[in-house]
Structure 1
Amino acid sequence: MTTGTLASMLGLAVGIDYALFVVSRYREERAGGHEPSEAAGRAAGTAGSAVVFAGLTVVIALAGLSVVGVPMLTKMGLCAAGAVVVAVLVALTLVPALLGMWPNAVLSRTERKRGALASPGDAPNGGTRWARFVLRRPVTVLLACVTGLGALALPATQLEMGMPGDEAKPTSTTERRAYDALADGFGPGFNGPLTIVVDAKGADDPKRAADAVAEAIGATDGVVSVSPRRFNADGDTALFSAVPATAPNDETTKDLVHTIRAERADLEKDTGATFEVTGSTAMNIDVANALKDALVPYLTVIVLLALLLLMVVFRSLLVPVKAAFGFLLSVLAALGAVVAVFQWGWGAELLGVEQTGPIMSLMPIFLVGIVFGLAMDYEVFLVARMREAYVHGERPAQAVVSGFRHSARVVVAAAAIMIAVFSGFVGSGESMIKTIGFGLAVAVLFDAFVVRMALVPAVLALLGDAAWWLPRRLGKALPRVDVEGSGLISPPARPGSDPADGETRAQEWART
C-alpha cells in the first residue's frame, strides 16, 4: 500500500510538471508564428529533450536506492521510478498528440479567436524583474539563502531513525487503541519484546547453558521479564522472549539491544552457548542503523552523479558545483524541518501528528533520492535557457535575465503544483506517507523558490563568464548533449561555433 501510494504521489507530481513544460514551450513556439504541428514538434524536440534528461535523473536516483540493500526500499524506489518513466513517456507522446488534435485548447479565449498567441518579444515580466533585483545585490541574496537554509538544516544533526509502528497511528484506529491498552496494562515494552535464540550445540549441558543465558539476560538493566525457554526436538536450541522496560522506538531500548549483544562473548565463554537477538524490535533497530550508515555514502554518490550529469549537459565546471551545493542545502534544510516537526513536535498538532518520535528509517534516504531528481529537474529547465542565451551571444548577466524571462514562471508554477500534490498526502493516516509528503513539499519549496530562484542567479552573477568555463581536455572527453534542442531553433551565433557545444565564449574568456 505504501509503495503504491508513493509511486502515485511522485508520478502525479512529475507528470503534471513535465506536461506543463511541454505545453509552455508549445505556447512559446505558437507565439513565434509557427503552425500548430510545427510548434508541437519543436516543443517535443526542445522541452521534450529536457524532460527526458530530467526524468532520467529522477529514475537513476530512485533506482539507485536498490544498492542500499534493503528490499522494501528497493521495491519503493523501482516502483516510483516506473511511475516517472510513464510520466516521461506521456509527456513525449500523449501530450504532443493531444496538442495536435486540439491545437488551440491550451490558448486563452482571446488567443483562440486569433488562432495564435501574441509574441511577447523582450518585454519584461515578473521573472526578468526578479532576476534584475538579484543581479543588483548578489552577495546579499547569496548570504541570506545560505544562512537561512543552513539554520533550517541544524535540526538534521539530531536525526534519530526508527520504524514507528502502531503507536504512530491516529488514536481513532483500533491498532493504536490496542497498543495503548497493552502499554497501560503490561508496560510499554510489552509491545516490542526481544526474541532470543540460543545455540547450545557446543555446550556440555545445553539446557543448563540456555537457562544461564536466560538468567543473565533477565538480570540486565532494562529487562522486565523473560519467558520460559522452549527447546527444539534435539534439545540443543532454545527460544525465549525478553520484555524491555521501554517502548520499541525508545532510545533506551536501542541501547538495551546493544548491551545484550555486548554480553554475548562473555556468556559464550562461560556457558559454551551463543545467542542472537532478533524479533521485529531488534530488526527495526538494525535496519535503522544500516540506513543511517548508508545515508552519507548514498548522498555522496548522488552529489557526484549530479556533478557528472550537469557537466555533460551544461559543459561547465562551476555550474554543476553550484547545483550540487544548492541540492545539499535544500535536502538538509528539508531533513531539518522533518526532524523539527515529527521528532521534536514543533507544530506537530497543526499537521495531525499525534505521536512524535524517531523518523521512519526509510524516509531520509528516500527523500534524498527524490529531491535529487526534482532539484535537477528545475536546474535543467531554468539554467538550460540561460546557457542557450549565453552561447548565442548574450553577456552573462543578460543571459540570466533571458533565462528567467522564459523559464521562471513555468518553474514557479510547476513547483507550486508539486508542493500542492505532496501537501495533499500530509493528511494521510500512514506515518511514512505523512512524513514523506511533508518532507517533499518543504524540499521543493526550498529548492525551487530559494535555491533555483535566488541562489542560482546570485552565484551566476558573481561568477560571470567563469560560470560557463570548461577545461579544453575535459570538454573533448565529455559527450555532447543538446538538452534544450537549441540546434532546432536557430543557427550558431558565430561561424564555427556550436550551440550544443557551449565552449566558444567560455574558451574566449579563458584565453583572456
Structure 2
Amino acid sequence: MAELLYRLGKFAARRGWVVVTAWLAVLAIAVGGFLVGFKGLATSFDVPGTASGEVVAELEEALPDYAGAAGTVVFETTDGEAFTDEQRAEISALVDSAADLPDVADVIDPFDAEQERADREQELADGQARLDAGEAELDAGQQQLDAAKAQLDAGQAQLDAGQAQLDAARQQAVDAGAPDEQLAALDAQQAELDAQQAQLDAGAQQLADQQAQLDDGRAELETNAVQLEQGAELLALSSDIRIVSEDGSTALVNVAFTEPRMELPESSKQAVIEHFESEPIEGVEVSFSTEIAQGVPQLVGVGEIVGVVFAAIVLIVMLGSLIAASLPIVTAIFGVAIAALGTLSFSGVVQMASVTPILGLMLGLAVGIDYSLFIINRHRKQLLEGAEVRESVGLANGTAGNAVVFAGTTVVVALFALNVTGVPFLGLMGTAGAVAVIIAVLIAVSLTPAILGLLGPRILGKRARARIGEVHHEDLKAKPMATWRAIVTVVVSAAALLTIAIPALDMRVGLPDGSSEPVESASYRAFETTEQAFGAGVNGPLLVTADLPGGLTDAEQLQAQLDVANVLAEQDNVVAVAPIAIADDGSVAAFQVVPAEGPNSESTEQLVHDLRDLPPVDGDIALGVAGQAAINIDISANLAAVLPLYLTVVVGLSLLIMILVFRSILVPLIATGGFILSLFATFGAVTALFQWGWGADALGIHTGPILSFLPVILTGILFGLAMDYQLFLATGMREAYVHGASARLAVARGFRAGRSVVIAAGLIMISVFGGFVFAESTMIRSIGFGLAFGVLVDAFVVRMLLMPALMHLLGRSAWWIPKWLDRIMPDVDVEGAALERRHHA
C-alpha cells in the first residue's frame, strides 16, 4: 500500500493539472446528479418492526383516514381575549379552503367541532328531558290503567255475586217445580248477566292490550335511557379534550394527511404553512406543530463558518503560511461538496432523513482537513530537510498518506457498521458518512499531492524556505517520563473521566418535540401555546385501537366502546379518553387518549407501557397503542437496544485492524479501553447539558431526553476518530521502538514526534464540530456538541495523557504478540519505514 501511494503521490505531483481536472469532473458529475436526482429530505424517523408500526398498519387496513400523518395549526389572539365573530369567520374560511391542499385528507374547523360538542351535550340534555317526560307519561297512563282495572275488578265482583244469586234462585225454582214462565224469567236474567260478562271480558282485554303497550313503551324507554347514559358517560370521559380554549382565545386546527409521516413530502407541509399564513388575520397569531413546521435544517450556518475560521487559525499557527493553511480547508470543502451533492442525488431513490447529509458534512470537513494536514505536514518537514519537491510529495503520500488510509479505514468500518443495527435511517446515515470519509481520503492522497506539486516550494513561507537544509532532531531530546508521574496521570485521568460520566447513568433517550425547538420558531410557540391553553398532554395524544369481536350489534358496539374507554380512563396519568372512529365492519375501534404530561415525559412513556401491558378488555378486546408520542418511544427503545450489538461489532472489527497495524495485543486493548472511558464521559456531558440543563441557558438549549440515535452515532464516529489519533501517535512510538529505542524511550519519542499534528488535528475537529452546536436544529446541536466534546476528551485526555502513561507502565510488554500470530500476519508498514529505506527524499 505504501509503495502504491508513493507512486500515486509522485504521479499527482508530476501531472497536477490532470488530477485537478479529474476531480473537477467528479464535482461536475455530482452537481448534475444533484440537479436530476434530488427529491427532498424527510424530517421524520422510522424503525420497522415496532409495536406502534403494527398498529399503524392495522389502521391502514381498517381506518385509513387515521393512518396518515397529522399536525396542528394553532391560532391565538394577540390580546388574550376571545376570538371575535369576524376572526372566527376568517379562520373558518381558511379551514374550508384548506381541504384542497395536496395530500390533505381532512381539516377540522375548531369552532364547528366545539359547536358539535355543545349540540351533543344539548341533545343529551334534551334526550334526558324527553325520557323524564316519557317516564312521567307512562306513570300517568299506568295509574289510569290501574284505576280502570280496579273498576273492572269491582264490576266483576258484582257480576260474580249476581251470578251466584241467580244460580241459587234457579236451583231453588227447579227444586220447587216452578212453572216454565218462572224459569224463562230466570233465563232472561242469565242472558243479561252473560252480556255483562262479555262486556267485562272485552274491557279486560282492552286493559291488557293497553298494559302491553305501556310495557313496550317502558322497555323502549329503558333502552333509550341506557344508550343515553352510555353517551353521557363517553362524553364525560372526553370532556377535557377541547380544541377551543375555555377562554376562547386559542383554537387548534387539526390537519390530517393522506400519506404516512415518513412518506409525506416536505412540499405538502409547506403548502399547509403557506396557506394558513397567506391571509393574516388582524389580532391573531398562527403557529404550527413540529409535525408540520419541522423542516430540513440548513446545511451551513454561521456557527459552522466560525468553526472553519477557527480551524484556519490553527492551521496558520501550525504551518506558518497562508497558502499551506488554506490548502487543507479548500480540499476538505471540495470533498464535502462532492459527498453532500452525491448523497443528495439519491434522495429520490431512498428515503433520506434530513440529518443524513449534515452528518456527512461534519465528518467530511473534520477528517478532510485533518487528513490533508497530515500529508502536508510530513511534506513540509521533508522540504525543510532539503528534499526535492516531487520526491517529497511521493514519500509523504507513502508514509503519512498510508497512515491516513488506515485511519480512514477505521472510521469507515465504524460508519458502515451502522447497517448492522437493522435501522434503515441509521444505516443510511452511516453509509453517507462513510462515503464522505472515503472521498476525504481519496482527495487527501490524490488531490492534495497534485496541488502540492503545483505549489512547489511555495508551500513553505519565506522564513521557512530560508531554513531549508537545517536538520532538526527534536525527537532525540525526548526523555521517558517518571514512573510516578505515569501512575498519577493514569489515576487522575481515569477518575476525571469516570466523574464526568456519572450523569450518563440517568440518560433518557427520545426524539425532539416542539419544546426543544428554538424559542423564536413557530413550532416552539405552537407547543407552548397548546400546553398553556389545553394542557401538556394535548401536544402528544396517544392513538389506541381496540380489536372488537365480530357480529356485535350497534348497542353492543357502543357498550364495548364504553368498556374500553373506562379501562383507559382508569389508568394513571390519563386526562381524557374519546372514541373517534369505528371500522365499517365493526372490527376495530379507535380512541384518542390524552396523557397528563408532554410526549417526552417519563409519565407518558410509562403510560404507553402500561396500556400495552393491559389484558384484553372484557376478555377478548385486545388493545394497541400508536400516535406520535408512542412512535417516538418505540424508536428510542429500539435504538437503545441495538447499541450493545453495534458496539461489539465496531470494537471487534477495529481491534482486528489495530492488531494488524501495531502488531501488538495490549496496544489495541489500551486504545479500546481508553475509548470506552471517553465515550462514557461524552455521554455524561451530553446528559448534563441537554437533559439536566447544566449550562443550557447560556447556549439557548431546551432540556429534554437525549436524541435517541445519538449514542449510536457518537459510538461509531468517536471510535473511528479515536483510532485515528491512536494511529498517528502509536505508529511513531512503534517506529522508534523498531529502530532500536527502548520501549519507554520510544513512547516519549513517538509522542514528541506526533503531538503537534495531533493537537492541531484535535483542535480543528473540535472547532468544526463545535460550530454545529449553534445550529438551528436541536438534533444537529446535540450531535455537534457530542462529537466536539468526545474529540476533546479522547484526543487531549485519553490519547495524550492516559495512553502514553499506560504505555510507559507496560514497557516492552506493550508490544508483545504471540509468535505464531506474528508469523501469519502481513506486514502493513503503516509508518512507511520500508518505503523510506527504498526511497530517500
In structure 2, the partner of 1:170 is: 518
Residue 137 of structure 1 aligns to a residue whose secondary structure is helix
Cα distance per residue 1:10-29 (max 9 Å; x no partner): 11011000010011111122
In structure 2, the partner of 1:408 is: 755
Distance in 1 separating the partners of 2:786 and 2:579: 45
Among candidates 574, 580, 587, match of residue 223 of structure 1: 574
* 2:428 aligned with 1:81: no
Distance in 2 separating the partners of 1:476 and 1:204: 77
* 2:691 aligned with 1:339: no
Structure 1 residues 123, 400: closer, same or farther in 2, change over 3 A? closer
In structure 1, the partner of 2:505 is: 157
In structure 2, the partner of 1:185 is: 533
In structure 2, the partner of 1:92 is: 445
How far 1:421 sits from its partner (Å)?
A: 0.6
State, as a whole percentage, how many aligned pairs show the same letter: 46
Preserved contact between residue 475 and residue 749 of structure 2 (Cα < 8 Å): no
Preserved contact between residue 291 and residue 362 of structure 1 (Cα < 8 Å): yes
Distance in 2 separating the partners of 1:431 and 1:203: 50
In structure 1, the partner of 2:719 is: 372
State how 1:138-149 maps to structure 2 within 5 Å.
138-149=486-497
How far 1:483 sits from its partner (Å)?
A: 1.4
Distance in 1 separating the partners of 2:512 and 2:474: 54
Unpaired runs of at least 5, structure 2: 1-353
In structure 1, the partner of 2:589 is: 238
In structure 2, the partner of 1:398 is: 745
Distance in 2 separating the partners of 1:395 and 1:324: 24
Distance in 1 separating the partners of 2:831 and 2:562: 71
In structure 2, the partner of 1:199 is: 547
Cα distance per residue 1:162-200 (max 9 Å; x no partner): 112111012111110011011111110101111112222
Structure 1 residues 109, 190: closer, same or farther in 2, change over 3 A? same
How far 1:210 sits from its partner (Å)?
A: 4.0
In structure 2, the partner of 1:284 is: 632
* 2:466 aligned with 1:119: no
Q: Give the alignment's TM-score, normalised by structure 2.
A: 0.56
Residue 52 of structure 1 aligns to a residue whose secondary structure is helix
Preserved contact between residue 27 and residue 117 of structure 1 (Cα < 8 Å): no
How far 1:252 sits from its partner (Å)?
A: 0.6
Q: Which one has the largest radius of gyration?
A: 2
How far 1:202 sits from its partner (Å)?
A: 5.2
In structure 1, the partner of 2:828 is: 481
In structure 2, the partner of 1:316 is: 664
In structure 2, the partner of 1:214 is: 565
Preserved contact between residue 725 and residue 799 of structure 2 (Cα < 8 Å): yes
Distance in 1 separating the partners of 2:713 and 2:420: 12
Distance in 1 separating the partners of 2:456 and 2:472: 19
Moved over 4 A (4+): 131-136, 201-206
* 2:405 aligned with 1:43: no
Preserved contact between residue 389 and residue 399 of structure 1 (Cα < 8 Å): yes
Distance in 1 separating the partners of 2:475 and 2:423: 53
* 2:603 aligned with 1:252: yes
Distance in 2 separating the partners of 1:220 and 1:203: 29
What is the aligned-residue RMSD (CA, Å)?
A: 1.9
In structure 2, the partner of 1:28 is: 381
Residue 459 of structure 2 aligns to a residue whose secondary structure is coil
Preserved contact between residue 475 and residue 750 of structure 2 (Cα < 8 Å): no
* 2:700 aligned with 1:352: yes
* 2:622 aligned with 1:274: yes
Q: Give the alignment's TM-score, normalised by structure 1.
A: 0.90
Question: Which residue identity is paired with 1:297?
Answer: L
Preserved contact between residue 679 and residue 718 of structure 2 (Cα < 8 Å): yes
* 2:825 aligned with 1:454: no
In structure 1, the partner of 2:418 is: 65
How far 1:111 sits from its partner (Å)?
A: 2.6
Cα distance per residue 1:101-153 (max 9 Å; x no partner): 10223212123356x4633224668xx4xx74566621111111111111111
Distance in 2 separating the partners of 1:258 and 1:163: 17
How far 1:381 sits from its partner (Å)?
A: 0.8
Preserved contact between residue 163 and residue 360 of structure 1 (Cα < 8 Å): yes
Distance in 2 separating the partners of 1:488 and 1:110: 30
Question: Which residue identity is paired with 1:49?
Answer: N
Cα distance per residue 1:258-303 (max 9 Å; x no partner): 111111x342xx2422221011110111111112222233223332
How far 1:255 sits from its partner (Å)?
A: 0.5
Cα distance per residue 1:217-240 (max 9 Å; x no partner): 122221111222312222212222
Residue 304 of structure 1 aligns to a residue whose secondary structure is helix
Distance in 2 separating the partners of 1:297 and 1:67: 8
Distance in 1 separating the partners of 2:704 and 2:425: 21
Question: Which residue identity is paired with 2:388?
Answer: E
Distance in 1 separating the partners of 2:469 and 2:447: 23
In structure 2, the partner of 1:382 is: 729
Preserved contact between residue 476 and residue 749 of structure 2 (Cα < 8 Å): no
Preserved contact between residue 516 and residue 524 of structure 2 (Cα < 8 Å): yes
Preserved contact between residue 203 and residue 273 of structure 1 (Cα < 8 Å): no
Structure 1 residues 203, 90: closer, same or farther in 2, change over 3 A? farther
Cα distance per residue 1:52-111 (max 9 Å; x no partner): 111111111111112212222222211111111111111011100000110223212123
Distance in 2 separating the partners of 1:327 and 1:347: 25
Distance in 2 separating the partners of 1:222 and 1:303: 42
How far 1:304 sits from its partner (Å)?
A: 2.4
How far 1:32 sits from its partner (Å)?
A: 3.4
Distance in 2 separating the partners of 1:183 and 1:73: 32
Residue 799 of structure 2 aligns to a residue whose secondary structure is helix
How far 1:213 sits from its partner (Å)?
A: 2.0
Residue 429 of structure 1 aligns to a residue whose secondary structure is coil
Unpaired runs of at least 5, structure 1: 492-512
Among candidates 698, 702, 708, match of residue 361 of structure 1: 708
* 2:400 aligned with 1:52: no
Distance in 2 separating the partners of 1:458 and 1:330: 16
Residue 571 of structure 2 aligns to a residue whose secondary structure is coil
Preserved contact between residue 212 and residue 271 of structure 1 (Cα < 8 Å): no
In structure 2, the partner of 1:15 is: 368
* 2:770 aligned with 1:418: no
Say how many residue pairs are matched.
Answer: 483
